Amino acid sequence: MKQKCYIWGTRLKEDAKGDTDEYEEMCTLIGQGEYILIRMHLASLQAKSDIESQIVSAICLILNQKNEKRFQEQIYCLPPDIVSMALSDHPRGEFISPKTNKEFRVEAYPSFIEFIDRKKLSSHPYIFAPVCHSGHWWLWLINTRTRKCQILDPLHKKAPSDERKDINKFTGYVFSRLITYAGGKPLEKGEKEKEIKAPYVKISGQKTSYDCSIYVMKWLELIEPENIKKGKYEWDNWTHEEVDHYRVEYASRILFSEMNTQRDRAIRESSVIRLSKPSSVLLSPFCQINSADIETG
């Protein structure tokens, strides 16, 4: 059923005029407001594709609602929407936006504030915050008790450029402002808030140029911050086949989530799909599924 859901959710259809259904609403998550995903977002889960930030936000929202101690008491997964919008206004980590000529303010992004759980953001011991810039994803681990931050990057063991260093300083400031907005204490005070340090943790990561978001989303569930020793995190890396499988998994987790008001539709319309090829080839780099490979009843 997961494979059927994946095909149903990620396949773009084309009509006689050549128009696609990429803007069709596919999922509405009810939690902190109504978070809507369209088919274009889900289509980014196709093999070898860069995943849209809305998918990462959806996974954050779903994890935050899980009835597990990890997410109810220990770790809050911060949806990346506001940070992504802030970086679009401050593309090189400038504290004064070249677009608006203003400093970052949480209130400048009202349409995304509703998706933040202020209680968890201000009270949980750890915040896991995905960040995306120029198509690459990495993860901030923020200890709200010690006010210490660390970065897990699937591709880099240190900031790859001076621009990335500036972006990291700016995003640290954004996180501090968000925590303060939610009622917590800033990560630093005064001008030091613009100099927040976040050393990189040495960790084995991606083997391709397009799977960084998969690593970040899985790390939200798996990383135990207290196990980071001397700037390293030891773990068994995934094979390329496992990473590909997670793309199928995330489509079904989102569309079949109990938070999705369109869940019944997803189940109903996925169930009528019949695959004429074995499911093991779904995400093979040597095979791309198209309409000729799918039978619908």
pLDDT tens-digit series, residues 224-276: 998 988 888 988 888 888 988 999 999 999 999 999 999 999 999 999 988 76
Structural contact between residues 271 and 38, judged by C-beta atoms closer than 8 angstroms: no
The pLDDT, as a whole number, for residue 293 is: 38
Domains in the chain and their CATH numbers?
Answer: 2-296 (3.40.395.10)
Structural contact between residues 209 and 7, judged by C-beta atoms closer than 8 angstroms: no
CA distance 135 to 150: 20
**Buried residues in 139-175 as b, exposed as e (16+ CB within 10 A):** bbbbebeeeebbbbbbbeeebeeeebebbbbbbbbbb
Which residues does the chain have with pLDDT short of 50? 279-281, 283-297
The pLDDT, as a whole number, for residue 296 is: 42
Residue from 212, 259, 244 nearest 63 by CA: 259
Structural contact between residues 274 and 295, judged by C-beta atoms closer than 8 angstroms: yes
**Buried residues in 48-69 as b, exposed as e (16+ CB within 10 A):** eeebbbbbbbbbbbbbbbeeee
The pLDDT, as a whole number, for residue 115 is: 96
Structure tokens at 53: 């930030």
pTM comes to: 0.90
The pLDDT, as a whole number, for residue 116 is: 96
CA distance 76 to 82: 15
